[in-house]
Amino acid sequence: MSGDLLSSLDAHARAHLASLRTLPPTADPVKLRTALESLPKSLPDQGWGDARTLEYLTGTVAGGLAQGQAGPRYWGFVTGGVLPIAQAADNLVTLYDQNVQVHLPTQSLSTVIESRTLELLLSLLSLDPAGFPGRTFTTGATTSNILGLACGRQWAIAQAHPGYSVAEDGFGGYGCKVFVAKAHASLVKAASVVGIGRKNVIDCGQDVDDNGGLPFDLVRLERLMKECKERGDGIIVSPGFGEVNTGGFTPDVHRIRELCDTYGAWLHIDGAFGAFAKLVPDLQGYVEYLHLADSITVDAHKWLNVPYDSAAFFTRHADVLPSIFGPSPATGGPAYLSSGSVGPSYPALDAVQSIPSPLNVNLENSRRFRALPVFAALLSLGQEGYAELVQRNVAFARALGDYIAAHESYELLNPGNKVLLNIVLFRAKTVDSAELLKRINASGQMYASPTSWAGKGAVRIAVSNWMTRMDQTGETKSDLDIAMEVLDSVVQDS
Ligand SMILES: *Cc1c(COP(=O)(O)O)cnc(C)c1O
């Protein structure tokens, strides 16, 4: 980047960051319209040049973007913010533009940092890195779930048919079932992508209990697993681990582990944000069996507060990933993609020689250096800093939940009338949920998402941004006060 481009960008970034706390969560409708109508419909014959293009991006296009999506009151979906250190590291990623696909440890540390970062992330979640030797960064929990189902199918069909490899031999007419409790929609997408089929994702969950649990019907689960075993189907089981409307967890995961061992099933846990309950003291009982999973999905762009797009995948079976994503054992990989190093050996280098090339353990070949922002954030905050961040978000969601539960115009829908993790689920008593959501989001002060609960519309708020504050600082109102004011005002006169 030329010095001029760099300084224009810097000026824009400074102004944006200085007002992030007070920017409306979404785009201003007028600016959005201006930007939309300005979008070129065809490729310019003669390029605009860098200066004019950047001016167009910062002056017009940026106005059409969701201004405060990284800010403290964007509570739609499950949206993380961006820690300053993660933002800085992400800029370095762009600057150095490493292609993290082949492990070439004497040429670049990128693959080693990726591997070390994944170990640090396991430690953050109190998981033993030695227990999860198969690991990689992905673009999101959806991709991690695709890896989870691909690995589960590969492994479970080989349990039923020893020596058979779906990756090598194709599906071969063997079925595979995925038993879930209120699974995230991306798991169903993953079943579609890997060829298991959406219809083979079967919900064995029961109604959410008052403790926010998402119990499996274990009797039904075992009967279905037995039938699969008799038919020679592969079996994958995926308990709920941070359900998107309630933050709930499937209890008795150790019982499910026993069933998986009995029937040769793969246990996949989608802990996209739920895994971070490991950092909340009073939720330990809900998440104590995470380590029993064969594979785990963890999002980084949610609760780790690093920029999009970033997530991780872990498995205890180190050999399953390369059996799918590596070269065929029959032919080997192309020579130009082989790893290795030349030059003198020394102990620290010898210790990292065996790291697999990322291209052999995930979907992509060429890929971004996603690990660096996570590495930087983990170093900057440490275990205690992340525990504090997550606990602060949970405390915020619980305080807002208590306010809603006590409010005459609202009904809190979280099981047991209390917020478990970071998701607040509610509706108004006299305003329809679609209208309520419209009013909340039109306030320009906070942003929530629609959902459906017990067959009726509802509104949900998910808190996972490092900037969200419960206390007033100086002249700035707390985000909790702002949310309470908005919630009060949108139900007045109705
Ligand atoms: C957000 C989420 C996903 C999808 O994650 P992406 O990062 O958007 O791909 C999957 N599972 C759960 C439980 C989630 O919360």
Q: For the domain that residue 469 is a member of, what is the CATH number?
A: 3.90.1150.10
Lowest mean pLDDT among 3-7, 170-174, 278-282, 470-474: 470-474
pLDDT band at 211 (very low <50, low <70, confident <90, very high): confident
Mean pLDDT throughout 187-201?
Answer: 98
Residue 274 CA, ligand 1 centroid: distance in Å: 10
Q: Are residues 113 and 229 in the same domain?
A: yes
Q: Are residues 240 and 96 in the same domain?
A: yes
Contact assessment for residue 307 and residue 86, using Cβ atoms and an 8 Å cutoff: yes
Residue 418 CA, ligand 1 centroid: distance in Å: 23
Tell which of 338, 355, 374 closes a domain: 374
pLDDT band at 213 (very low <50, low <70, confident <90, very high): confident
Mean pLDDT throughout 402-418?
Answer: 97
Q: What is the pLDDT of residue 60?
A: 98
- Ligand 1 atom closest to the Cα of residue 144 is 9
CA distance 121 to 110: 16
Specify if 74 maps to a domain.
no
Is any atom of ligand 1 closer than 6 Å to the C-beta of 425?
A: no
Task: Give me the phi and psi of 482, to 5 degrees please.
Answer: -60, -45
Instruction: Please write the tens of the pLDDT for every residue from 139-160.
Output: 999 999 999 999 999 999 999 9
Q: Are residues 129 and 241 in the same domain?
A: yes
Specify if 83 maps to a domain.
no
Centroid of chain to Cα 206: 25
Instruction: Please write the tens of the pLDDT for every residue from 351-398.
Output: 999 999 999 999 999 999 999 999 999 999 999 999 999 999 999 999
Longest CA pairwise span in the chain (Å): 77
Q: Are residues 278 and 239 in the same domain?
A: yes
Higher pLDDT, 473 or 371: 371
Specify if 81 maps to a domain.
no
Is any atom of ligand 1 closer than 6 Å to the C-beta of 142?
A: yes
pLDDT band at 338 (very low <50, low <70, confident <90, very high): confident
Mean pLDDT throughout 303-316?
Answer: 98
Pair of tokens at residue 281? 């003291």
Count of structural domains within the chain: 3
Residue 184 CA, ligand 1 centroid: distance in Å: 7
Contact assessment for residue 423 and residue 277, using Cβ atoms and an 8 Å cutoff: no
* CATH code for the domain of 176: 3.40.640.10
Q: Are residues 365 and 429 in the same domain?
A: no
Specify if 415 maps to a domain.
yes
Residue tagged 């879930």 (tokens): 180
Mean pLDDT throughout 63-68?
Answer: 98
Is any atom of ligand 1 closer than 6 Å to the C-beta of 184?
A: yes
Lowest mean pLDDT among 18-22, 103-107, 270-274, 331-335: 331-335
**Average pLDDT of every residue of the chain:** 96
Q: Are residues 194 and 298 in the same domain?
A: yes
For the chain, percent of residues with pLDDT exceeding 90:
92
Q: Are residues 210 and 119 in the same domain?
A: yes
Q: Are residues 109 and 38 in the same domain?
A: no
* Residue 342 scores a pLDDT above 80: no
Specify if 79 maps to a domain.
no
Specify if 86 maps to a domain.
no
Tell which of 337, 354, 374 closes a domain: 374
Is any atom of ligand 1 closer than 6 Å to the C-beta of 78?
A: yes
Contact assessment for residue 422 and residue 398, using Cβ atoms and an 8 Å cutoff: no
Tell which of 374, 397, 421 closes a domain: 374
Nearest residue (by CA) to ligand 1, atom 12, is 272
Nearest residue (by CA) to ligand 1, atom 15, is 272
Mean pLDDT throughout 185-191?
Answer: 98
From residue 190, how far is each of 95, 164, 171, 199, 309 by CA, in Å? 33, 22, 16, 12, 18
Domain that holds residue 187: 92-374
Is any atom of ligand 1 closer than 6 Å to the C-beta of 186?
A: yes
HSE-CB at 219 with a 13 A cutoff on CA atoms is 1
For the chain, percent of residues with pLDDT exceeding 70:
100
Specify if 156 maps to a domain.
yes
Q: What is the pLDDT of residue 308?
A: 98
Residue 186 CA, ligand 1 centroid: distance in Å: 7
Q: Are residues 369 and 387 in the same domain?
A: no
Mean pLDDT throughout 414-423?
Answer: 96
Cβ partners under 8 Å of residue 9, min gap 6: 1, 54, 58
pLDDT band at 494 (very low <50, low <70, confident <90, very high): low
Q: Are residues 221 and 351 in the same domain?
A: yes
Q: Are residues 386 and 357 in the same domain?
A: no
Specify if 213 maps to a domain.
yes
Residue tagged 């419209």 (tokens): 438
Q: What is the pLDDT of residue 251?
A: 93
| CA-CA-CA-CA torsion sign (430, 435, 437, 443) | negative
CA distance 246 to 260: 26
Q: Are residues 171 and 290 in the same domain?
A: yes
pLDDT band at 337 (very low <50, low <70, confident <90, very high): confident
